[in-house]
């Protein structure tokens, strides 16, 4: 049904449910309590992080592929913002900034980074003593299984997912992105 033009004689399926997702009585609410000091988020930015940033020229040089910012990626940026989104001088200045700061842009999962831990320490989340939950996962359709495994391997390699010895197990599922082919976990 997806991908075909809808005409008058083709019925449109309507997916509905006749029961609530979760009864109000089972709703999980936060406990109203003050946050202990050891769990407060403290930014510890030392000095001026922008002090070493090179200045931008009012007359940017022509584009030259630099580090992660390749000619293909420049064309991709230009194709996503055609027309009068920026004036030509502003577009050249944007490309100069992206050439100078090419390490700040992640084009693939393997290029992702994280905040400096000396500026932003890892967040600690306070919890109350409770019984860990274990929820049965939804079945992965066999046709999607290789794609899902590849997404998980990519996220593990990029450091987004990491091993856990937790007592918890939450449900997760896949959805198709707007492009109609990519998956999101």
pLDDT tens digits for range 3-25? 444 445 555 555 555 666 777 78
pLDDT above 70 (res 179) = yes
The tens digit of pLDDT for each residue in 60-105 reads 999 999 999 999 999 999 888 887 778 888 999 999 999 999 999 9
**DSSP label at 102?**
G
Residues in the chain: 185
Q: How far apart are CA 74 and CA 63, in angstroms?
A: 9
**pLDDT for position 132:** 82
Q: Which of 22-31, 51-60, 67-76 has the highest mean pLDDT?
A: 67-76
The model scores a pTM over 0.85: no
**pLDDT for position 2:** 44
- Judged by DSSP in three states, 9 sits in coil
Helix 88-100 with 71-80: angle, nearest 10 deg: 140
Residues 6+ apart with CB under 8 A from 171: 135, 136, 137, 138
pLDDT mean over 118-146: 85
% of the chain residues with pLDDT over 90: 20
Q: How far apart are CA 1 and CA 180, in angstroms?
A: 13
pLDDT above 60 (res 174) = yes
**pLDDT for position 150:** 92
pLDDT above 90 (res 45) = no
Neighbours of 96 (CB within 10 A): 20
pLDDT above 80 (res 182) = yes
Residues 6+ apart with CB under 8 A from 31: 128
Nearest to 98 by CA among 82, 120, 76: 76
**pLDDT for position 160:** 83
Q: How far apart are CA 134 and CA 73, in angstroms?
A: 43
Q: Indicate the pLDDT class of residue 138, thresholds 50, 70 and 90.
A: confident
Q: Which of 46-50, 59-63, 121-125 has the highest mean pLDDT?
A: 59-63
Q: What own/partner pairs with CB < 8 Å and gap ≥ 24 does 154-163 have? A: 154/109, 154/110, 155/109, 155/185, 157/109, 157/110, 158/109, 158/110, 158/112, 159/112, 159/114, 160/109, 160/112
Neighbours of 86 (CB within 10 A): 13
**pLDDT for position 17:** 57
**pLDDT for position 1:** 42
Q: Indicate the pLDDT class of residue 112, thresholds 50, 70 and 90.
A: confident
């Amino acid at each position: 049904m997806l991908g075909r033009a809808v005409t008058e004689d083709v019925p449109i399926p309507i997916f509905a449910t006749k029961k609530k997702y979760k009864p109000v009585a089972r709703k999980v609410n936060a406990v109203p309590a003050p946050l202990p000091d050891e769990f407060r988020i403290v930014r510890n930015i030392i000095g001026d992080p922008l002090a070493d940033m090179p200045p931008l020229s009012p007359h940017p040089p022509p584009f030259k592929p630099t580090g992660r910012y390749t000619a293909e990626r420049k064309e991709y940026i230009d194709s996503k913002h055609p027309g009068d989104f920026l004036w030509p001088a502003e577009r050249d200045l944007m490309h100069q900034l992206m050439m100078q700061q090419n390490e700040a842009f992640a084009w693939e999962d393997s290029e992702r980074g994280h905040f400096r831990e000396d500026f932003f320490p890892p967040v600690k989340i306070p919890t109350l003593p409770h019984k860990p939950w274990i929820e049965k996962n939804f079945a992965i359709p066999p046709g999607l299984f290789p794609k899902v495994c590849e997404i998980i391997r990519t996220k593990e390699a990029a450091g987004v997912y990491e091993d856990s010895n937790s007592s918890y197990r939450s449900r997760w599922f896949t959805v198709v992105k707007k492009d109609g082919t990519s998956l999101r976990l």
